[in-house]
Amino acid sequence: MKASVVREMTTQEIIDKLENDKLAYAKAKMGHTISPLENPLTLKDNRRDIARLSTELRNRELNADKQ
């Protein structure tokens, strides 16, 4: 997911997507410890998507405080 796509989402959509992605990442990480994933780079991509969503959410919080 690109940062430009995240910026176009509403705040509620970001919160919902962030929760879902965190759960999916936790399940994938646990599954990877039990039996290796076919493509372990998906874990890296998931972490980066979570970071993008968290960053945009935090930026919106800071901008709301300034206004």
Domain of residue 43: give its range: 3-66
Question: 0.85 cut: is pTM over it?
Answer: yes
Number of domains comprising the chain: 1
- Token duo for residue 17: 């997507």
**Contact status, residue 17 vs residue 25, Cβ threshold 8 Å:** no
Considering only CA atoms, which of 8, 18, 14 is closest in space to residue 50? 18
Q: Can you give the CATH number for the domain in which 10 is found?
A: 1.10.287
Report the C-alpha gap between 42 and 45 in whole angstroms.
Answer: 5
**Residue 23 to residues 16, 27, 50, 62, 67, Cα–Cα distance (Å):** 11, 6, 11, 26, 33
pLDDT for 40-59, tens place per residue? Answer: 999 999 999 999 999 999 99
Mean pLDDT per 10-residue run, the chain (67 residues)?
Answer: 92 97 97 93 96 96 89
